[in-house]
Structure 1
Amino acid sequence: MAHILAIDDDRAVLSTVKIALESAGHQVVLAEDGAKGLPLVQSKKFDLLIIDIFMPGMDGLETMNMVHQEHPDMPIIVMSGHEFRLVPDTAPDFLHMATKLGAVASLKKPFRSSELLNIVSQCLAKAQSSAVQAKPLRQPRCPD
């Protein structure tokens, strides 16, 4: 199945993500913040990133920006226990900013394992479909 990196400062959330995704056959690597997650992204290939937006230190958007620079095609699922748009018209639209950095889906915490599995399945299928469509077709060779 897929090789997935999950980054969140909440160990209980990381545990839930790991148990749910491993039960579905995925390989899961965990990091407790962006600073710990970045070296993992740089040293291994992941099919999907699941990341909390609001974390102390290097937050999710900063981490996503760095990941997106190196892996612009990596799909990202953003999570948060907060509203993505905190106060209409005065706070940044975090979901819009995350989308610009590669987010393809969002997940509001707390979430059910079934929600997580459904979103992950959809994101992986969409990424695989895009990769297949992006492959250049071989040009037929004409005999000399």
Structure 2
Amino acid sequence: MKTNDPILVIEDEDDIRQMICDILEEDGYATVQASNGNEGLQLLQKTPEIRIVITDLLMPEKEGIAMISELREDFPWIKVVAISGGGILIPENYLNRAKAVGSDATLCKPFESGELLSIIEELNR
């Protein structure tokens, strides 16, 4: 079930962030964007209707694992999707750490739009 609540997309690479937002918006979701974890946390404090956060794990300023940990403390009701292309390690290492600190779902970059949308649909149930 779709809601009008915006989905927060936190990704430091502009083109990837925009692509994720385009996929979500084409499917009828509203989005809010942030380029790092600090910006994302500030947006969460200003936008209490956010219920889902999609966050990259490797970012400047505040990386995804630290962000997910803070989210779990300050916004435990928010669903979190962690995404990673892995950097110098294999992406599963980061994604497993994200699950360990409380992410609800993980996606390995690159991913298909259908994979992302099915995770969002599942989290909205």
State the TM-score, normalized to the length of structure 2. Answer: 0.86
Render the CA deviation track for 1:71-125: whole Å, top value 9, x for unaligned: 112110000001131xxxxxxxx33432243311111111121111111111221
1:8-67: per-residue Cα shift (whole Å, max 9, x none)? 111111111111111111110000001111110111121100000111221001111222
* Identity value in percent: 30
Relative contact order higher in (CA < 8 Å, ≥ 6 apart): 2
Q: Count matched residues.
A: 117
Q: Report the TM-score when normalising by structure 1.
A: 0.75
Residue 121, structure 1, aligned to residue 125, structure 2: no
- Residue 14 (structure 1) aligns with: 17
The runs of 4+ residues in structure 1 deviating greater than 3 Å are: 94-97
Q: Secondary structure of 1:26's partner?
A: coil
Structure 1 gap segments, 5+ residues each: 86-93, 126-144
**CA-atom RMSD, angstroms?**
1.4
Say whether the 8 Å CA contact 1:74–1:102 is kept in structure 2.
no
Q: Secondary structure at the match of 2:92?
A: coil
Distance in structure 2 (CA, Å) of the matches to 1:9 and 1:38: 14
SS of 1:65's equivalent in the other structure is helix
Paired residues for 1:1-144 under 5 Å:
1=3, 2-45=5-48, 46-82=50-86, 83-85=91-93, 94-125=94-125
Contiguous gaps of at least 5 residues in structure 2? none
Give the distance between the partners of 1:107 and 1:14, measured in 2 at CA: 14
